[in-house]
Amino acid sequence: MSMLAGLLVIPAILFVLFVAPIWLFLHYRSGRQTDRGLSEPDRARLKALMAQAELLQERVQTLERLLDVECPEWRDDNQNTHSSGGGQ
């Protein structure tokens, strides 16, 4: 039985001395990095993407208004195509 206890104690000591400290260090370091939030380049990129999304939304609304004038039934045609299972 003491041989079995010796075999379990050695890996436990190695774990506590080497693995656990590194594991804790990496865990808390990554936690601090996520608490900081977005970096300045990330914020700038997000702001640019939001502006681009707003422009694209305006373009879609303009196209929808043009289609409403040129072809008022386009919305009904599009809904029938998707609901009947047809289409591209």
Q: Kindly report, residue by residue over 58-67, the tens digit of the pLDDT.
A: 999 999 999 9
> What are the structure tokens assigned to 72, written together?
């008022």
Q: Is 87 helix (H, G, I), strand (E, B) or coil?
A: coil
| HSE of 47, CA atoms in CB hemisphere, 13 A | 7
Average the pLDDT over 57-77 and give the result: 91
Name which residue leads in pLDDT, 80 or 68.
Answer: 68
d(CA 69, CA 4): 85
7-37 confidence digits (pLDDT tens) = 888 889 989 999 999 999 988 888 776 667 7
pLDDT at 87: 46
Phi, psi (deg, nearest 5) at residue 73: -90, 10
- Token pair 């009904």 is found at 76
What are the tens digits of pLDDT across the range 32-53? 766 677 788 988 999 999 999 9
Give the predicted TM-score (pTM) of the model: 0.48
